[in-house]
């Protein structure tokens, strides 16, 4: 499919300069871009084709807020942007999961040899538009640094969370917060075979917050995984409601069976109830900040105890002063995560 036919999938009113996306195909940023997925575009296109156009878009949104503009410039350095643009292949693609159209990302080092790179499936947090994968957020600050460590990185926005063409629900599906959307993660088990550099024998999975739940759920059906990394994840959703009763609004809106069978819906998504269904020798790294106000650190201690009880290999890393995002500590944590994953590759 030609790029111009894909523009409606990827452009929305929230993005300035979207009309320039078609012209970006002739830019230097796209000169060496060769898509690996069927319906994809270069991440470094449109407003993201250069650092100047990217930062200009962000600054334009806060024209009367000099402090915000200064913070934006500090957070997104030109050197970092250009390094990733030169060294990484990044594509944004639409993939089909049982007739449902889902938005995903694929990022990897350029010019990697065949089957030379381990695969890392990253499961995002949040629900709906909250926590969604966007270039100036998770893509640039989380996924690209992981790919730069030498991984083929796959990530999904989950079904029902990207529909600029206003397709009917049967074509986009609904985010069920750990229901049918788990299939969007499992689909990468097949899709990774389309990436020449990906080594299908070396696959790990990482999830942050809600993504931790997605990771546990996917691991039940992907026993070949080499390692899991659970960051700020929930172990027991019922217990979590005691800490954050506001989450019930999310559960009611997302889980199709919540109103009729609340207990079963929550337990089906809580690893504390289905851990025996996961391979007992699958290594797990648990990372959690002790100042996390969104998911209490007790979730990390609880799953560590459950893993110990079944003698499942794991490491527990409690981050002093770490909040839910672990933003300040993430550069160092990323090195520890990489070390853990590579030790487990079979």
Let me know: does 323 contact 309? Beta carbons within 8 Å: no
pLDDT digit string (tens) for the chain, length 346 residues: 444 445 444 444 333 333 333 333 334 545 789 999 998 999 999 999 999 999 999 999 888 898 999 999 999 999 999 999 999 999 999 999 999 999 999 999 999 999 999 999 999 999 988 899 999 999 999 999 999 999 999 999 999 887 655 666 778 889 999 999 999 999 999 999 999 999 999 999 999 999 999 999 999 999 999 999 999 999 999 999 999 999 999 999 999 989 999 999 999 999 999 999 999 999 999 999 999 999 999 999 999 999 999 999 999 999 999 999 999 999 999 999 999 999 998 7
Q: Which CATH superfamily is domain 91-344 in?
A: Alpha/Beta hydrolase fold, catalytic domain (3.40.50.1820)
Tokens coding 233: 């994840």
Q: Would you kindly state where each structural domain of the chain is located, as residue ranges?
A: 91-344
Q: Tell me, what's the pLDDT at 171?
A: 81
Describe the strand order of the beta sheet including 39-42 as a list of residue ranges.
39-42, 88-97, 100-109, 152-156, 117-123, 198-208, 227-231, 284-289, 314-319
Separation between Cα atoms, residue 333 and residue 229, nearest integer Å: 11
Q: CA–CA separation, 55 vs 60, rounded Å?
A: 8
| The token pair that represents 274 in the structure block | 């289905």
Q: What is the 3-state secondary structure (H, E, C) of the chain?
A: CCHHHHHHHHCCCCCCCHHHHHHHHHCHHHCCCCCCCCEEEECCCHHHCCHHHHHHHHHHCCCCCHHHHHHHHHHCCHHHHHHHHHHEEEEEEEEEECCEEEEEEEEEECCCCCCCEEEEEEECCCECCECCCCHHHHHHHHHHHHHHCCCEEEEECCCCCCCCCCCCHHHHCCCCCCCCCHHHHHCHHHHHHHCCCEEEEEEEEEEECHHHHHHHHHHHHCCCCCEEEEECCCCCHHHHHHHCCCHHHHHHHHCCCCCCCHHHHHHHCCHHHHHHHCCCCCCEEEEEECCCCCCCCHHHHHHHHHHHHCCCCEEEEEECCCCCCCCCCHHHHHHHHHHHHHHHCC
Give the C-alpha separation, 158 to 181, whole Å: 6
Other CB atoms within a 10 A radius of the CB of residue 309 amount to 9
- For residues 146 and 120, is the Cβ–Cβ distance under 8 A? yes
Structure tokens at 181: 């959307």
- Are 233 and 299 in contact by the 8 Å Cβ rule? The answer is yes
């Amino acid at each position: 499919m030609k790029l111009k036919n894909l523009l409606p999938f990827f452009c929305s009113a929230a993005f300035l300069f979207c009309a320039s996306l078609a012209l970006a195909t002739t830019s230097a940023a796209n000169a060496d871009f060769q898509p690996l997925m069927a319906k994809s575009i270069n991440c470094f296109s449109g407003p993201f084709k250069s650092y100047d156009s990217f930062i200009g878009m962000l600054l334009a949104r806060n024209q009367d807020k000099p402090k915000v503009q200064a913070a934006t410039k500090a957070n997104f350095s030109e050197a970092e942007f250009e390094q990733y643009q030169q060294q990484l292949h990044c594509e944004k693609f639409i993939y089909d999961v049982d007739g449902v159209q889902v938005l995903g990302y694929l990022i990897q080092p350029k010019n990697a040899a065949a089957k030379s790179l381990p695969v890392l499936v990253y499961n995002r947090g949040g629900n709906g538009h909250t926590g969604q994968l966007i270039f100036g957020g998770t893509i640039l600050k989380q996924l690209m640094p992981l790919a730069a460590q030498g991984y083929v990185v796959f990530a999904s926005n989950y079904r029902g969370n990207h529909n600029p063409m206003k397709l009917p629900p049967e074509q986009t599906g609904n985010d069920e917060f750990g229901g049918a959307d788990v299939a969007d993660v499992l689909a990468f088990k097949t899709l990774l075979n389309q990436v020449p550099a990906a080594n299908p024998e070396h696959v790990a999975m990482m999830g942050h917050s809600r993504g931790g739940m997605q990771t546990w759920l996917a691991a039940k059906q992907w026993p070949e995984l080499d390692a899991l990394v659970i960051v700020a994840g929930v172990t027991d959703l019922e217990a979590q409601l005691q800490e954050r009763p506001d989450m019930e609004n999310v559960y009611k809106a997302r889980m199709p069976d919540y109103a009729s069978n609340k207990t079963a819906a929550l337990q089906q998504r809580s690893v504390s109830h289905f851990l025996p269904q996961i391979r007992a020798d699958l290594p797990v790294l648990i990372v959690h900040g002790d100042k996390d106000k969104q998911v209490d650190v007790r979730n990390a201690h609880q799953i560590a105890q459950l893993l110990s009880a079944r003698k499942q290999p794991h490491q527990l890393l409690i981050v002093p002063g770490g909040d839910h995002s672990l933003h300040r500590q993430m550069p160092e944590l990323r090195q520890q995560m990489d070390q853990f994953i590579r030790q487990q590759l079979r």
